[in-house]
Structure 1
Amino acid sequence: MKQIEKISENSNYCAVNLNELNGIRDYSLIHPISKKEIEGKVFLKNITGATGTEISFNSLQAHTEQPYFHLHRKNEETYIILKGYGSFQVDDDCFGIKEGSVIRVAPKGVRGIYNASNEEMIYIVIQSKQNSLEEYTTDDGEKVPYQAKWK
């Protein structure tokens, strides 16, 4: 199992490096329920100390599917396809996806993904509690009173 490289951190941030996206398949984890090893998946919440989202990088080999359909109790998921093409299914709706596709799924939506391409599919999944985002505009940003400079 490949380990995530921590680049730098302090109390305000944590930076990690997963290296090239084609290396995502080298990461794996033990599924907490099935106790089986899942290859090509790396979660970032714990290593980065995230408190509002879980982000994972995922890999599906050519002509394979996620090993099971699933839903969530509280969290919605947003899938961002970075490489490859195939199909995505939510409940009884199945549709084509490709590089650049973005799919948001409500917690109760039963979902699955299939890689129809002849190469590895790579995608990101961002998971967060449904309706937890209180502010989502540039109004949340605040200009600091000094000019930051590159070191």
Structure 2
Amino acid sequence: MEELKEQGVKGENYAALHVGDWTGLLEKGHQTETGKLGKLFLKELLGLTGMEVSIGVMPAGSQIPFSHSHIENEELYLFIKGAGQFYIDGEVLDIREGTVIRVTPAGVRAWRNNSSEDLHYLCIQAKEGSLQQYTATDGKIIDHPFKWPEK
């Protein structure tokens, strides 16, 4: 059994990587006026071809220093831990662990951490309207017996 390391492992049909703990993302981040933001984009690291995924950590009291929209990609934000606020098209939504938000390409967005703990989130970008098959319509059961390795 191969342990995932930062350099990752690749097979014919997969790429896997251990990016470290969430707080370690702050070391890979960039400095803004309100603090250091940790964000790691996975497209290049994993060879993603149909989406971009980023893992983010926003320290207490920090915020995205700009609002933005997209040309073709919708985004899905999944807030994993912490709390804050999400700005979208002039509205401010309170966010916390378990909040999920889809934003169309035209939506103007930004977010901040106005809590006392780190805000952890995932962001998935994909071309709006490109999903043709999903869940059961794209999955198929394979008759391929396997055995889990012993610990």
Q: Which TM-score bucket, shorter chain as reference?
A: 0.7 to 0.9
- Does 2:113 align with 1:87? no
Q: Which letter does structure 2 place at the counterpart of 1:132?
A: S
Letter in 2 for 1:124: L
1:22-33 matches, within 5 Å, as: 22-28=23-29
Equivalent pairs counted in the alignment come to: 141
1:25 and 1:89 map into 2 onto residues whose CA distance is 23
Distance 2:93 2:66 in 1: 17
**Partner residue of 1:53 out of 46, 51, 54:** 51
**TM-score normalised to the size of structure 2?**
0.86
Checking the alignment, whether the CA contact within 8 Å between 1:6 and 1:15 is kept in structure 2 is no
Give the whole-Å Cα distance in 1 for the aligned partners of 2:138 and 2:86: 33
Between the aligned partners of 1:50 and 1:74, the Cα distance in structure 2 is 17
Deviation at 1:148, TM superposition (A): 2.3
Q: % of aligned pairs identical?
A: 38
Structure 2 letter corresponding to 1:86: G
Cα displacement (A) at 1:29: 6.2
Say which SS state the counterpart of residue 117 (structure 1) adopts. coil
Q: CA RMSD in A?
A: 1.8
What TM-score results when the alignment is normalised by the length of structure 1? 0.86
Which residue is equivalent to 2:140?
142
Whether contact under 8 Å (1:60, 1:122) holds in the other structure is: yes
Question: Deviating runs (4+, > 2 A) in structure 1?
Answer: 148-151
**Distance between the aligned counterparts of 1:102 and 1:39, measured in 2?**
20
